[in-house]
Structure 1
Amino acid sequence: MVFRNVLPIPARSKLLATSMGVQYLKAKGKGLRRNIDDTSTIVKWHPPDKSFVKLNFDGFVAGDKVATGFVLWNYNGQIIGGGALNLDGATISEVEARALREGLLFAQRKGYKKIMVEGDFKLVIQSVLD
């Protein structure tokens, strides 16, 4: 849906991101296996503390197909909202940074000030921390 040659429809983007979030939520209890530096590690999603919301963001680049998305969660693991964008021609760094930016702006518009951020792109995370 994100990659069609049509203008993005905000409601459709939110539905897509929410649907992806629900699928992730169903799988989160099982954990995901990742190989990091030749060691196997179990990665498991955890909800934020009660006073926080959690922003998960990610980007995707495959050939000329580029997309970004985010999901905002409450402490019960319920989805507050999300979004997705088609960003043709962007690099993976731009895509990941845009996902983080859009997610933070969304959380801010919703009035949240305590936001736990989780993503998998070290360059973007390190840039924010620096």
Structure 2
Amino acid sequence: MIAFVARYGLGIVLALAVLGKARNFGAFRSSLATFGLQGRVAQMGAFTVVTVEALVALAAFSLVADDLVVGVTGTCLGLSFTAAQTYLLVMGEQAAPCLCFGSAERASARTFGRAALVLLLGLTLWGAAV
């Protein structure tokens, strides 16, 4: 039951993240300048983030994908997102909004919590699969 909740929770959170970014892809791409990514590099970075999120969300809802694979990839995304949110929190007012779920909300305990949720769900699924 824990694996079921973690797997589908991860899928829902990532699907919402993909929809938010896709709704305002240009703004999401521009927000990557905070991390030093501009121009074509930002375009490729934004495309890669959205694609990986979408693939992991699809895998979470797939009957074919293994819990371990979904857990490991979810954990990797969660680590990346949590690191990005930590960076934004440290930067403070200088940082642009991450547009993680399509909102212009600046980094906060709330955005950090969402990133940590992806990490927690990935770790939970990974642990349940081992």
Q: Would you say same fold, with TM above 0.5?
A: no
Scaled by the length of structure 2, the TM-score of the pair is 0.30
Return the structure number with greater helix share.
Answer: 2
Scaled by the length of structure 1, the TM-score of the pair is 0.30
